[in-house]
Structures are given as structure tokens and as C-alpha cells.
Structure 1
């Protein structure tokens, strides 16, 4: 995740960018509609004290609850798991067939330090990041004020971590995916990359089973409503970061009358297309890189050069050199070449937080001198990868499974060639690689079920939306967009570098805490 105080929890919990994942889909998916989502409006079954009724959303989607009573009637049985409380929640694989196969979701709880006023469900992003682990680290992810008053609830979404994890390829094969050329230069290279990501997509279809078609964000949001009921809550109180905002806004679309207090920090709008997502991140990372370079020059004797343009060119030239001639590297398991793909992973990590800039400087300076070990260590940290080549979880693989269901993408190489030219005009350093960001989803073997359309959530209460002025992964324009689309959205802006805001600013913390505890929104137009 991106918040510096939570660095020990692994940055993969931040929005996993298309650039950092080389030829991935995008950091979120459409929150509206799915082949397993019925258009029937049904009455919401109760769970515990829950009695709210489901209704059609403003965008026309409706969450059908037909046949789901047994799931809504669940009572969570808590056990002690490594110092936190844990439980399992049963949900159907296919909501269109609730009497069919089921899976269990891993749920964590850290009880409030004082008298609990409710349960705060949290999600760190991804898709693919462990919400279970995130919630278990409650002391590092919310303020002491919120810890005093809320039980903090985390969950691994379907297909992720401890919740029926989707695994398609071996660790060594995942290495190949992450190291693949993100900026193919000619037809031969384009075809080679297309074949490589196609192999991964086919492996997922062959090995992941029926769940592969049912890990969309719509289905995750439906799981969240069952979780709300199992927690005995009429309304969902929720804190979502990055892709977690996609889950939250999707939930508001499907279950507007069940919305309590939702905080969406670092926004992925449900109506953004794959191309818009990729271009937004290209310009976002370009801006973040320029901010880093400007800071380097302002401090004097910048290793990259004496002007912003010269420094930006040096970074671009370094990536081009790696593309043509990868650096040798040892002690990294099967990985013996430090490629442009691995370099972009390390660079992307460095731009998620301003606090990472000193480490990025040392790593990039060493890599430019021929020693890529520090930059590879940053790439490993981003990918939850050990130096021996073992991955700590399935976050890199489940990312694609969710993203490629949520948004359609082209398989036509000509489309990517055109975007590469157009993106490079606005983002010379990051544009070309981000332009190819959706090719994996273009090759996906399970049809996308998501629909890019706005969320209004007319029947929901006020929703707090937060955006950073210089967020590389989820640009401010995305937060502004969602806040306008929501019937009762309120935008809070944080003037800062880095990804997401809560936990980084006393001004932001105070505004979020006041909203969660008292329902008090920040003034219109407030900037921290």
C-alpha cells in the first residue's frame, strides 16, 4: 500500500497499476452489471439486525436477492487467528445459481478499543490485495479515534488470498509475465508479447475452474452485502482505497438503501474505460515523475541532470537501454536479466509515496551505474516476490482475473499501436508502456461482464470522495468525476504527491473521522 506508515504491509495493497504490472488490464473494473447479475428487483433478506430492502440503482442495475436467504441468515463464528479474530463467510460462486457451488471468504476483525458503535469494513485496493491482512493491521490503517469506536473488518475478496485463491501459473511463469517487454517496438515484438500474455490467459482458463468467470467487482459487492448482514448491520460503513473505491461505489449502485458512511480514497470511477484508465495513469505517473525530478533538482547536484527536461530524458533513455540490453542480475531465482518490465515495477513503487523518493534515488542511481539490485528489490516488494522467486500470495494473478472480467479490452494490435503514439504525446516517459496496458485482457478467454457506466446511488446517503492533486495511479480527475456522478457525493482534495490521502494528513484524517463518527461532511470545495 502507498501510505508510508503502512509500508511494512507491502505496497501491493495499493492500486496495482497497469504500468507496474506491465501488460495488465487496469487497476479496477466496471462496477455495473454482470452476466451473473439479475435485473429482477427483490426484497433484501435480513441478517442479524439487518432489514433494509434492496432496490434498483440509478444506473439501472438491480441486485437480485432471490434464493439468497440462507446466505444472508449466516452468523459469523469468530476464532483467534494469529492475534486477530477470524471467521469464514459462505457465498455462492454464481449469484444467478445460488443453489450451486459455494466458496468461503476469509474475514478478519480487530475489535474496537472502546465501546463499538459499529463495524467498519475496509479494503486496500488491488484488485488482488489482501483485505484480510489489511484489516488485521487496524492500528496502522485508521486513526486512534476510529480504533476506539469501530470494529475494523477486513476480507479477502473472492479469488484472492485466503478466499478460494485463483492460481494460473507457476512462480517462474509469473516472473516471465512481469518481465515481458512493456514497449514492443515492431510487429515481431508485438506478436511475441501477445503470445506470452495469451499463454497466461489460457492457463487461467485451464486451471482456475468455474470461479474464473465469477470474480467481478459486481460479485464482490454482492459478497459485501452478505458480509454486512452477517455482521448484524442495517447499513454498511466502509473505507476503501484505490480499487477498493470501485468496490464501494459498485456497492452503492447495487444496494443504495444499505449504504451507511462510505469513504472512497484514490478513486477508480466505474464508468472509466480501459483506454481512459491507461491514459489517466500514464499522465499520472508522468506528473509524479516530474514532481520527483523537480524535487531532485531543487535540492542541488541532482544525479539526473540540471533541468527537468534533461532529467526526464535520462530516465527515458535508461528504460530504453534496458529494453535493448537488460542488465545481468543474480540472486533472484529464475530471473537473470533485469528488464524494462522489472524496472517499471520498481519505479512505480517509488512514486506511490513521497517518502519513497530517497530510496528510489539510491536504487535508480545504482541501476544507472550498472547495479540493478536495489531497484529489483523495490520491484520484488511491489510484486510480493521473494528474491528466491517465490511469491507470497496470488495478488499478481488475481489482479488479471478481476480486471479482465470488469472491463472489455481490444485484442487488435493496431489499436495499441495507435494508442502508444497518442499517449506518448501526453506522457513521453510512461505513455507507450501504459498504452499496451490492456493487452492481457484483450487476450482473456472469459468474456468481460462489466459495463462502463456511471454510478448515481440516488437513494444512498452522502458519500465522501477523496483525491490527491498529484496521485499517479488514480488521478484527481477520477475523484472529481465520481463525486459529480454520485447523487450525494462530497469531494475532499488533498494537495500532495503520492497515492491516497487518509493517514497522511491531519486535515484529511480529521475530515474522514468526523464523517465516519458523526456523519459530518467537509465543506464544499475543501482542500487539505
Structure 2
């Protein structure tokens, strides 16, 4: 079985934190002088990337103005400010992933577009050098969405972020994006969003339809948000594993073996977590059918070692994927069995248990109801302090009538392509590309890149 040590490199585009670089990480708004002109200040050649321009955008901590304070967001741009098609804003995922450490790799990947577009990336609030820091949660979860953390880690994170945690919602990021658009001097943006970045792109388009020229949505999270019970990914596992098995010539039924293993050991959440991470290392899930077959037959040792190896290699610092920001955003945005984060904490566990009891085998197979109600991001928000949450746009609202490309991989468990087809219903005449054999972040593949080139080069 292929090692999972490539997980972080694949997730973050093979980014490494440069040795000796000091990374500042305030947990709340950094004290900074307001930018009176609304522009990108301190523009200069990027450190280590002198062919590009970097600067700082200052935004309000609270866009309503009720709470004082500012945040500084690091921005990087290619030099072609007069590009004929304007600005292409590339949005990373997570939530919690930075933009600037990926800039050179993305610029190289999108090089054929740069005669027509100026590429812009930025560190969304709470990420990168100014990442929200929650050491316990970071240690427990690393780069995973699904690993259940310790309750103490959740409590410590919520205490560290304090009441300002509510200012790290997607609505706040969308407001930052419009400040960035204005600072760039752009009337409209073309937006390329991957994973959570696709969700941010959709929410921006719904909030500011007149300022969007086109959308590339890669590894799509639908505009209604992610399902904390993962009731799409659970059944999609059977499809994905069987397709990978057929591609590699395995002779077992990994979906049936997975179902038998979950029934026998009750470890569905651990398996889903491991498989969702492993797709970054090997979209063919090499070796997985064999270890599932052995586990179903009563020999779980190899499966346990696989799960442990994946978890170990999911480790990541907050500067590359902030679990503090991840928690703050998902808990502010999410809709859960108990409601939202403005629901009293005391009743949440009972509501979740009622949901577990109501789930059917058809909804969760080849897993079980305990898998759906035992996932890390869900459990973080079950214990997250009560807080006001921002309003969400109506679920039925359509995206603006602009060109939309939706990209998916048929081996993706992080954002199964069923979500892509759900989002397609909210777009006007979208172009859909499903890349066979591709997992999460389809633009890492040659076919995904070509689909973007064909879509954006007119």
C-alpha cells in the first residue's frame, strides 16, 4: 500500500514552510492602521517570488462596524495588471488553507491563462501567517475534517478565540473578497474556487452577482453548505471503492467488505476518515480492498495499521491548515441536527441522538448511523459555545447568469460528485466535467487543467 506521507503535500500543492521563516499567528484582530484608501498597501516583490507582487489588504474585523478592530490579509498577484480578461481570483479550501504559500505552484499550473488574466490569491482571514491557533485541536485533527477531537481541545480552542470567533464565517470572508475586488480596481472577478473555495465563490456570486464574470467550481461544495452527517459521502464510498477496485483488477467487493467490517468493529468513522485522506495519496485506493477483506474475515490488524498510518501523516501546522479557523467557520455556517450555533449547547447531544436513531440503513450503507453522527467536524460544533450566526441566502436562489464550469473527480470522497450535480441545478447552463480516476482537487490533474484552459480561454 502506498504511504500516506504525500497527503499534506498533495492537499496543499506540495507546499513546504521555509526553514527559518517566522510565522506570526494572532488569534484575534491584529492591531493595524486602517487603510484610508481601501487599497493593497506595501506592494513589493514577494519574498522568494520576486517575479510576483505582494501586499496587504486591511479589512474590518466586524464588517457591520459594531465591534472595532481590523485584520490584515496577505495578497499576491502576477504583474499583468492590464490583462485583457481582468482578474482571476483563485480561492483555496479547508476552510483553513492559506493562499500565498500556494501562489507560485498555482501560477505555474495556470500559466497558459496568464496572458489573458491577472492571477490573484490571498490568505483568507484566520489563515496563513496570521492563522488562528488552537494547538490541541491542531494536534488532534491535523488536516482532517473527520477525526473526532478531544472535548478539552474544543473547549480550549473556543476559549482562545473568544467572542471574536463569530467573525470568521463565510459571510465575513465574502465581505473581505469584495473589499479585495475594490482594492484591485476590478468591476468584475473571474473566480476559481477549489473545495471550500468553491463554496466561497458561490456565496460571493449570490451576494454580489454584478461583480462576477465567471466561475470555476472544482471539487464542489454546494451553495447550501456541507452536510455534517456526510450522507452523500457515506453511500458514495461504495461507488468509489468499486470503481477503484475495477480499475486495479481486485477480485473482492470492497463495499460489502466495508459494511461487514463496520458491523463487526463499529469503526466506520475511523475508516471514512482514513479513506477520505488516502484519496490524496492514491485515487485508486491501492491495497484498501485487501485490508477490508481481511478485516471482514476477522483479521483487522492491517486495517488498524492503515488507519493509524493515515492519522499520523495527517499532521499539519495551523499555518498550512488552521483547525481553529476550520472550527470557527463551520460552526458559524453550519446547520446541524440541533439547529445552528445559536442553539443552546445543553440540548444538542439529545438532538443528535434522536437523529442517530432515525437514520436508516439505506441512508448510511455501507456504514452505519453511528458513523454519520460520530464525525469530527460535527462533534466540534456540538460542543462549540453558543453564538450568533450570520443569515444564509435562500437555498433556491440561482447563481448569476454567467459562465460556470463544474469540475469533479469520480474517486473523490471529500466532495463526491453528487454534490456537483446538486449545485449544477442552481447554475444557468453550466459546463460539467467529471474526470475519471481523479480524486479531490481536480486541477491537480492534466485533464482538469485542460478543462479550465478550454473554459477560460475564449
TM range (shorter): 0.7 to 0.9
Matched with 1:513 is 453
Cα distance in 2 for partners of 1:236, 1:176 equals 32
| CA 86–381 in structure 1, closer or farther in 2 if over 3 Å, else same | farther
Cα distance in 1 for partners of 2:203, 2:42 equals 24
TM-score of the pair, normalised by structure 2: 0.75
SS of equivalent to 2:314: helix
Matched with 1:379 is 311
Cα distance in 2 for partners of 1:200, 1:449 equals 25
Shift of 1:72: 3.4
SS of equivalent to 1:170: helix
| CA 131–455 in structure 1, closer or farther in 2 if over 3 Å, else same | farther
Cα distance in 2 for partners of 1:114, 1:481 equals 36
Matched with 2:322 is 395
Matched with 1:494 is 434
Shift of 1:346: 3.0
Q: Which consecutive unaligned segments of at least 5 residues does structure 1 have?
A: 15-67, 183-192, 301-305, 324-339, 386-390, 519-528
* Backbone CA RMSD of aligned residues: 4.0
Of residues 224, 235, 239 in structure 2, which corresponds to 1:283?
A: 235
Q: Is the 8 A contact 1:281 1:474 kept in 2?
A: yes
| CA 108–341 in structure 1, closer or farther in 2 if over 3 Å, else same | farther
Of residues 305, 311, 314 in structure 1, which corresponds to 2:257?
A: 311
Shift of 1:157: 1.0
Matched with 1:125 is 93
Shift of 1:141: 4.0
Cα distance in 2 for partners of 1:202, 1:95 equals 26
Q: Is the 8 A contact 1:468 1:494 kept in 2?
A: yes
Paired residues in the alignment total 414
Cα distance in 1 for partners of 2:313, 2:89 equals 26
Shift of 1:160: 1.6
Q: Which consecutive unaligned segments of at least 5 residues does structure 2 have?
A: 15-33, 339-346
Q: Is the 8 A contact 1:78 1:87 kept in 2?
A: yes
Shift of 1:138: 1.8
Q: Does 1:249 align with 2:202?
A: yes
SS of equivalent to 2:191: strand
| CA 378–205 in structure 1, closer or farther in 2 if over 3 Å, else same | closer
Shift of 1:124: 2.5
Q: What are the Cα deviations for residues 210-232 of structure 1, in whole angstroms up to 9, with x where unaligned?
A: 53111111110111111122222
Q: Does 1:425 align with 2:367?
A: no
Matched with 2:155 is 202
Q: Is the 8 A contact 1:145 1:513 kept in 2?
A: yes
Matched with 2:19 is none
Q: Does 1:504 align with 2:445?
A: yes
Cα distance in 1 for partners of 2:328, 2:389 equals 10
Q: Is the 8 A contact 2:193 2:217 kept in 1?
A: yes
Matched with 1:348 is 276
Matched with 1:330 is none
Q: What are the Cα deviations for residues 275-318 of structure 1, in whole angstroms up to 9, with x where unaligned?
A: 5x62122223343233334445x345xxxxx3445533465368
Cα distance in 2 for partners of 1:363, 1:204 equals 36
TM-score of the pair, normalised by structure 1: 0.66
Shift of 1:254: 1.2
Matched with 1:270 is 223
Q: What are the Cα deviations for residues 408-435 of structure 1, in whole angstroms up to 9, with x where unaligned?
A: 3225334433444525433334443233
* Equivalent runs, 1:135-146 vs 2, <5 Å: 135-139=103-107, 141-142=109-110, 144-146=111-113
Matched with 1:11 is 11
| CA 317–289 in structure 1, closer or farther in 2 if over 3 Å, else same | farther
| CA 150–373 in structure 1, closer or farther in 2 if over 3 Å, else same | farther
